[in-house]
Structure 1
């Protein structure tokens, strides 16, 4: 065997159990005491380090890595689930750390739990049935989410946050540690608190990703128009929303926020507390 071919060969540890029917790509490494079900597809270069369980109609994307005692594609924790052949998909380059649980979808939901590419899910996190995580999302230790949660690209969910079922977390949003999120978080929004409240925009992400100061300043003005210091005392939210649409709707990131607000929602929006609006007025300047 040539060196290049040997480097791409699949290695299955003698203690691992790979069911007949499982499809393994090139260069796959299945470590000690792993279990792979018959309907699982594992793409090229995937590594199951040890004691990993993958079941159901599950696809693991190329180059993704799975650390000990995580489970992927197991049956959902939903009493209505009757064993239907629902699915779970993990994107290329994603890393799933120790004791993470990712459950497959339900027939009463979308039928699919999907995690995007280059996602990092840290230890002890739970991704419930029918959740959809975008690309480059970071889920920190002990985060839990109910079913049908959507987390868009580049979002950051800090440690021990809890996300209610059907909540949407917008693009590049930041959820603070130990926050209880009961409603949707706008794109670029930053939320914090035992019952999460909106404290401003995710300025750090914007600066680190090359958004220019003039655009950040414009986004800040749009945010403060939508959520002024005097709250709802002046105009109702619908009026402020139309004002932002008229004055700032030409900005692509502001338009992204507006489109998110306009989209159907089961949970409504996380809103600021009044004391947080004073903070938002000074940050991002």
Structure 2
């Protein structure tokens, strides 16, 4: 049976795996499912149509699955889905989705989410990300795998953050940030590639050189956005081994909806 503290309130319709641990004074609603090995600390509220996977660590005073902070929300049964092995620190707030989007706020696997992070409705957060203290993701934001969002950074609604991006402390992100880039500031600017992060993830020198070449085409050669896209797409013919990274960049640039930070 789950280990539920005597002061916790767990709705009888909630579905908790046998080894889930729920701390003092936490409240878990009727439509919540929590997977094996997940721990919920004291004074947490988990409500709404919320699905939480296995081996997550949810620290005290978190609010997960509350309705979206969107005036258009009219009580639709939207969802919050959290994957496996995430660390969710104190005072985080994650909202469910809205009917105007996919209806689901998704958190992937193996994310490290620090205190006071807010994840708004319909956010799509990938795997292996780090969100530092007080990072705020507005509605409909998309964050790629391995991205790092600096403390006190704000991400404007509908923005896309590419895979392996790093945003610095107090970054003001109001446009899409292409994969592999390091950005910071207000107004936001690109400072180069996230080379140190790529090295830590095992990227070879050849892969990093190709990523740096894409950065030069986007930011250093004076090309228009359309011409830079063409030049980056043409790299795949000359470098089949770097095709995965090139295709990731080409796909991101083609889908950029708010323009990219330049």
TM-score normalised to structure 2 length: 0.95
Matched-pair contact (CA < 8 Å) for 2:120–2:138: yes
User: How far is the alpha carbon of 1:245 from its aligned partner?
Assistant: 1.6
Q: Which of 122, 128, 138 lines up with 1:136 in the alignment?
A: 128
Tell me the SS of whatever aligns to 1:142. coil
CA distance in 2, matches of 1:40, 1:90: 11
Which position in structure 2 is the counterpart of 1:57?
49
Secondary structure of the equivalent of 1:238? helix
The residue number in structure 2 matching 1:66 is: 58
Report the alpha carbon displacement of residue 184 of structure 1 after superposing the two structures with TM.
0.6
**RMSD across aligned C-alpha pairs, in angstroms?**
1.3
Matches within 5 A, 1:59-208: 59-208=51-200
Q: For the Cα contact (< 8 Å) 2:229–2:253, is it kept in 1?
A: no
Residue 254 of structure 1 deviates from its aligned partner by 2.3
Give the unaligned 5+ runs of structure 1.
1-8, 272-285
Tell me if 1:17 matches 2:23. Answer: no
Moved more, 213-222 or 114-123: 213-222
Is residue 27 of structure 1 aligned with residue 19 of structure 2?
Answer: yes
Displacement of 1:248 in angstroms is 4.5
CA deviations 1:8-29 (Å, max 9, x no partner) are x411111000012101112010
Q: State the Cα distance separating 1:236 from its structure 2 match.
A: 2.4
Give the conservation status (yes or no) of the 8 Å contact 1:222–1:248.
Answer: no
Helix, strand or coil: the match of 1:262?
A: helix
TM superposition shift of 1:267: 1.2
1:241-280 equivalences in 2 (<5 Å): 241-248=229-236, 250=240, 251=242, 252-263=244-255, 265-271=256-262
In the alignment of these two chains, the number of paired residues is: 258
Q: Structure 1 stretches (4+) deviating beyond 6 angstroms?
A: none
The CA distance in 2 between the partners of 1:222 and 1:86, in whole Å, is: 39
Task: Determine helix, strand or coil for the equivalent of 2:190.
Answer: strand
CA distance in 1, matches of 2:219, 2:186: 21
TM-score normalised by length of structure 1? 0.87
C-alpha distance in 1 between matches for 2:200 and 2:183 = 19
* Residue pair 1:60, 1:90 contacting (<8 A) in 2 also: yes
Which stretch of structure 1 is more off in the superposition, 176-185 or 212-221? 212-221
1:218 positional shift: 2.4
The superposition leaves residues 61-103 of structure 1 with CA deviations (integer Å, 9 ceiling, x where unpaired) of 1110111111100111011111111000111111111000000
Corresponding position: 1:239 with 2:231 = no
Aligned to 1:43: 35
- Offset at 1:121? 0.9
Q: Unaligned 5+ residue runs, structure 2?
A: none
Aligned equivalents of 1:221, 1:129: Cα separation in 2: 36
Rounded Cα–Cα distance in structure 2 between residues aligned with 1:172 and 1:57 = 30
* Greater C-alpha radius of gyration: 1
> Residue 4 of structure 1 corresponds to which residue in structure 2?
none
SS in 2 for 1:190: strand
